[in-house]
Amino acid sequence: MENSKGQWSSNFGFLMAAIGSAVGLGNIWGFPYKMGANGGGAFLLIYVILVVFVGFAVMLGELAIGRRTGKGAVGAYRALSRKLTWVGYMGVGSAFLILGFYSVLGGMVMRYMLGFLVNLFGGDGFGAEGFFGSWIANMPGMVGFYALFMLLNITIVMGGISGGIEKFSRIAMPALAVMLVTVIVYVACQPGAMEGYKFMFVPDFSVFDSLKSFFSVLKAAAGQMFFSLSLGMGAMITYGSYLSKSEDLNRNAIIIPVADTIVAIMAGMAVMPACSAFGMDYGQGPGLLFNTLQTVFMDGMGGFIGNLMGFLFYTLVFIAAITSSISLLEVNTAYIIDRKLEKGKKANRRSITAIMGAVIFIVGLPTALDGLGTNVAGGALINNPAITFGLPSVGATADWLDFYDMIAEGILMPLGSLAMSIIIGWVFGSRMIKEEATCSGHVYKGEKFYNICFRYIVPVIMVIVLYAQIQTFFG
Ligand code: TRP
């Protein structure tokens, strides 16, 4: 048992884990404000079209590659062809880099959760006003919660596929749904909530007026979709590799993106009206989750109910974050396990997971130490990459988090995904996908549709994503 690769114990358990991977900070934090900033309902329309024409196909492709080869990202591409191993490395590399800063953010979420819990019991969970600003300069605090979040990741992943990841997800994901609905309903009852819905949903079709603005919305939506669906980093390949041959791949590849999109919209329906009801600015980017919303719950709603809603909200964000980060850790763990097994050695999941987690923790440490770019001047321990290396100051060098994100999401992820779509659409043909989709008597619905997606639509969108990412980080 120690070294074995494991399998999901049920399709429901797999779905909870995979939806758990997809539903993360990207949904609750990124989606609402990107939607608001990019034409509201118009963004949503483009997003949904992209999910249908790109998300479904790439999801199916990743799950199929994983299940067919029974391996994590690197092993899976190597099994397809030795010449393709590098595509797998790109995925594992980006998961490696992202897990570090994702866990720094996860640690912060835990701190907020704890703060509201302390408030609930009549304590002072946040201290003076402007908690956010002082917290990011609190180095022992930032590193401590980062370490705690990473330790939780390691503990869950050590438990294996069905005994760790699945067991946790099948309890945590339904709990997340209940908490999210509770917050949405409470927020809906606040006067002034309507403004928030309008900000989100009223389509600003003027974004279709010029090619330039259409393109910029398309870019934002496409990047968001890939990240939100956990695509392009080998996560779904890895999760697919633990799925029994008897499950319906075709159907799963639709359920996951649909659920992810629904949760993203629901998150927006919690966050945006909460801001509008209490007169807060929602177009704040990173500040939205850690600054604006804390003020909304603690001072806007206030009192017992405000602290309760705050606690529920940050707890659900915590669940969203950790069910995503364990998939990133599993990508790395699976890579090492595969390698050991291929060499005919024993693979001990527990020690591999612990070592991988520790190495990622160390590499990710700078993202917890530069005060998210406020630098030594702002009370942090180290400076951002621009100052440290004397580089020009652009988005990607403004803080370590964006620096790592630029390498991962800006370069490795879109290049890897572009390669994947070409491999499936043009090299291996769709035969492999078909064999996987139909392997235990299931019907492969939409085969023609998927073939067109893989051949033409996905590669074109990937080129756009790549271009857009480079522009965002270096522009
Ligand atoms: N999908 C997650 C989110 O929305 C992030 C994430 C987890 C991810 N695992 C991934 C993104 C793998 C890309 C690939 O926050």
At 267-304, the pLDDT tens digits run 999 999 999 999 888 767 767 899 889 999 999 998 99
**What ligand 1 atom has the least distance to the C-alpha of 226?**
13
- List the single range of 155-159, 257-261, 424-428, 434-438 with lowest mean pLDDT: 424-428
Question: What's the whole-number mean pLDDT along residues 170-193?
Answer: 96
- List the single range of 338-342, 439-443, 453-457, 467-471 with lowest mean pLDDT: 467-471
Nearest CA to ligand 1 atom 6: 230
Question: What's the whole-number mean pLDDT along residues 397-404?
Answer: 92
**What ligand 1 atom has the least distance to the C-alpha of 320?**
15
Q: Which residues of 160-191 are buried (b: 16+ CB within 10 A; e: fewer)?
A: bbbebbbbbbbebbeebbebbebbbebbbebe
CA torsion, points 332, 395, 55, 316, in degrees to nearest 10?
A: 70
Report CA(342)–ligand 1 centroid distance (Å): 28
Dihedral over Cα of 372, 311, 154, 96: its sign = negative
Nearest CA to ligand 1 atom 7: 324
Report CA(332)–ligand 1 centroid distance (Å): 14
> Ligand 1 test: best mutation among 98, 109, 262, most atoms within 8 Å of CB?
98
Model-wide pTM > 0.85: yes
Residues 228-262 pLDDT 10s: 999 999 999 999 999 999 999 999 999 999 999 99
Backbone angles phi, psi at 127, to 5 degrees: 70, -145
The answer, yes or no, to whether residue 145 has pLDDT greater than 60, is yes
pLDDT at 475: 64
pLDDT at 2: 39
Residue for token pair 């990459």: 385
State which of 125-139, 209-223, 347-361, 431-445 shows the largest mean pLDDT. 347-361
Report residues whose beta carbon is within 6 angstroms of any ligand 1 atom.
21-22, 24-27, 227-228, 230, 233, 235, 324, 327-328
Question: What's the whole-number mean pLDDT along residues 67-93?
Answer: 94
Report CA(104)–ligand 1 centroid distance (Å): 15
The answer, yes or no, to whether residue 190 has pLDDT greater than 80, is yes
- Split at pLDDT 50, 70, 90, the class of 3 is very low
Backbone angles phi, psi at 249, to 5 degrees: -65, -40
